[in-house]
Amino acid sequence: MYARLAINNAKKSVRDYVIYFVTLTLSVSLFYAFMSLSSSSYELITEDTFNFDFLKEILKYSSFIITAVLTFLISYVNRYMIRRRQKEFATYILLGTEQKSVALMFFVESLIMGIISIIIGVFIGTLFSQVVKSIIFMTIDKEIVFSFKLYMDTIGITFAFFVAMFCIIGLFNIKYLRKIKLIDMLNAERKSEFQFKRSKKVYIIAFIISILAYITFIYCINTLVDFSKNPSDISGDPRVYAGIAVVNFILGIYTFFYSISYVVILIKNKCTNFKYEYTNLFLIGGIVSKIKTTPILMGTIALTFLGAALSFVLTVSMAQYALGYLNYRVPFDITISNNYSQMSNIGDVPKVDYSEIIQKLKSEDYGLKDYCQEEFYLLNDKASKSNESLNSKILVIRLSDFNKLREMLGYEKIILNDNEYTTQWQNNVLQQDIDKYINENQYIAIKDKKVKSSSKAYYKDAMGDWIYNRAKGLIILPDKYCEYLNLVSTSFFANISKKISYNNGMDFEKNYIPQWFEKNYGTIIKKNYEKTDYFVHTRIKSVEHSEILNATLGMRIVGIYLGTVLLMISLTVLALQELSDSIEHKGRFKTLNKLGIDNKEINKIILKQISLYFILPMLIAIMNFPVFIYNFFKYMETGIMLYVGDKAFVFSVILSLSIIVVLYMIYFIATYCMFKNNVKECLNHNKNIS
């Protein structure tokens, strides 16, 4: 009997809570879509220049973590369903059913709904997995080939994960239901989320706190932006400012929603004509009552919605930033560099001969196209006595070596007179800093000679970041002057015509090069360094490209996943709260109908009520969204302009907002239709009784 009753109630639950059911199904489908990419049976791409094992791990574990956030939603909706049906449960108990049997029956209902959503979600997830696959293939410029296939190991993980989640929450629900008193079940609808004090002073103080908290938040954010531009001008730890900003922003949101109902009441009392116009009194009363009883929920929804929007925009932008920076960071196919910062005696610095490595690249047919062995020098001997100075001092490179690098990258050669020098700077260095350096160094002294700044005093062409030795720039001198300077580094740069597989590249970078240095320069390394890795650094462009693609794709896909889940949570909770009004306060709509208000006008009231309730938390989030985006842009302005581009950044914002608007409209329309149908059924039932 109980089993049949549980099944019948489950059918009713699917009909009554279709939004929750759809959200749960979408969550399962997203989980399956991401987890399927990490299946042992799934082969993402066969080309050996890419290795997406790291991406698969990112998607696997992030799917567990992000989907676990849904525990909040499932737990909340289950408690909502319990509260919604407590009178029904009380009726069962009054008819002689044991309270533990009622609790177990509700658990079975929830589990049935969950299993149905898992089954449907797996099939929809197969479609979503093709979307994720398309994102990956478009990023690596490969032809998209769709393949619809079910992976049994992923299906097993999906069932195990969600069923375990349902069971854990179900056990807590059983415990909760068994402890509720019968009288509390009968009076459950009279309870609100929070009991408020009616003193207007409390509301006024809360409103003032919200304003002060927001001002503090803006001040801390602006301080962080100023710190990114001029760190020396700001005192204090930036992490402290960031922490204070976050705390004050959250405090401001919650205190605002605590006090906003009083503000609405004041406006209502002042606008007497508007208040008593047609059905406005009914509408305003319902909205104020809703805000007063759910301020914590409204604040949480606003924060969740803002988090979803920021997740969409920031992760996509940072992924594009990383891809753009990769092209600047690794312009050569092979780069080998040395670090001499830990050497106590500059005389220990060896002049590395890379001829054996050159022969290896030729003999193993990597298609060595061109290469250059570069020597870097220290301008001031005194700097060598300080490890810190040696590690950050602007180094010197010979004009012939510099021109060879430019030639390898497709740039024109530069020309200097015998008594001139020029500079090369990273492209993120501010123009004012370059001008300051050149103005302060119109002449540089080398032995007994002075070399003046060239008429073309600087260059900012993209040449990678390893030629700078952790400094911001590089000095280029005619070759003859470098004979008087101390050698501090010998690096190797090469371009090849053939692709190196990821595994071969990793072997060359992690095994061959360190072993080669240990064999040829082991004595110097042991004297000054704990490990060979501290002395020599190697970059293989294909390896870097594969690893950066893993990271950027992970950020982009996980950001979209997280944003979608957070958005679904906030919209589902909003929808369920509104639908509860259509059932718990159906008497108000009956009264309106008896007063002569027709169905068309009642539908208008429903539309206005849902619109206001949906818009308020979203409006707060949308108002703060530009603040975060603007300050993020100012904080990362140089990098965004160089590696992302303002058009690409704006496009990512527009794309993210488009996804949000589409999901918002889907939930809004679904809520309106279900609310209207619930009220219609109530009014029709009332007419039939009459």
DSSP, collapsed to helix, strand or coil, labels residue 520 as helix
Q: Are residues 552 and 674 in the same domain?
A: yes
Residue in 212, 290, 304 with CA at minimum distance from that of residue 257: 290
Q: Are residues 147 and 38 in the same domain?
A: yes
Q: Are residues 50 and 10 in the same domain?
A: yes
- Which of 107-111, 474-478, 603-607 is most confident? 474-478
Contact 194, 206 (CB under 8 A): no
Residue in 452, 455, 338, 313 with CA at minimum distance from that of residue 391: 338
Which amino acid appears at position 157 of this protein? I
What is the pLDDT at residue 386? 37
What is the pLDDT at residue 128? 81
Backbone dihedral angles phi then psi of residue 98, each to the nearest 5 degrees = -65, 145
What is the pLDDT at residue 282? 64
Q: What confidence tens digit (pLDDT) does each residue in 453-462 have? A: 888 889 988 8
In a domain, residue 65? The reply is yes
Q: What confidence tens digit (pLDDT) does each residue in 640-688 have? A: 665 665 555 566 667 677 777 888 888 888 888 887 777 777 666 555 5
Q: What is the mean pLDDT of residues 461-467?
A: 81
Q: Are residues 36 and 184 in the same domain?
A: yes
What is the pLDDT at residue 477? 92
Which residue, of 237, 252, 278, is where some domain finishes? 278
Band of pLDDT at residue 212, cut at 50, 70 and 90: very high
- Residue spans of alpha helices (H) in 508-585: 513-528, 541-584
What is the pLDDT at residue 422? 92
* Full residue range of the structural domain in which residue 413 is found: 334-499
Q: What confidence tens digit (pLDDT) does each residue in 268-303 have? A: 666 656 555 556 666 666 666 666 667 787 888 888
Q: Are residues 318 and 369 in the same domain?
A: no
Backbone dihedral angles phi then psi of residue 352, each to the nearest 5 degrees = -70, 135
In a domain, residue 286? The reply is no
What is the pLDDT at residue 673? 82
DSSP, collapsed to helix, strand or coil, labels residue 459 as strand
In a domain, residue 289? The reply is no
Q: Are residues 220 and 183 in the same domain?
A: no
- Mean predicted lDDT score pLDDT of the chain: 77
Name the pairing type of β-strands 420-425 and 473-477: antiparallel
Contact 57, 556 (CB under 8 A): no
How many domains does one find in the chain? 4
Q: What is the mean pLDDT of residues 207-236?
A: 80
For 631-638, the CB contacts below 8 A with 24+ separation are 631/221, 631/222, 631/224, 631/225, 632/314, 632/317, 634/225, 634/228, 635/224, 635/225, 635/228, 636/228, 636/321, 638/428, 638/430
Distance in angstroms (rounded) separating the CA atoms of residues 28 and 114: 10
Distance in angstroms (rounded) separating the CA atoms of residues 129 and 316: 19
Q: Are residues 250 and 261 in the same domain?
A: yes
- Laid out side by side, the sheet with 368-378 consists of 443-446, 449-459, 420-425, 473-477, 395-398, 368-378, 486-496, 334-338, 536-540
Q: Are residues 447 and 478 in the same domain?
A: yes
Which residue, of 191, 209, 227, is where some domain finishes? 191
Q: Are residues 360 and 487 in the same domain?
A: yes
In a domain, residue 530? The reply is no
Place of tokens 């898992």: 118
Q: What confidence tens digit (pLDDT) does each residue in 353-399 have? A: 888 888 888 877 678 888 888 888 887 654 333 334 434 578 899 99
What is the pLDDT at residue 390? 39
Q: Are residues 43 and 6 in the same domain?
A: yes
Residue partners of 115: CB distance under 8 A and separation at least 6: 163
Q: What confidence tens digit (pLDDT) does each residue in 134-190 have? A: 777 766 666 666 667 777 888 888 898 888 888 888 888 888 788 777 776 666 555
In a domain, residue 255? The reply is yes
Which amino acid appears at position 611 of this protein? S
Looking at per-residue pLDDT, the higher value among 107 and 383 belongs to 107
Q: Are residues 86 and 147 in the same domain?
A: yes
In a domain, residue 1? The reply is yes
In a domain, residue 532? The reply is no
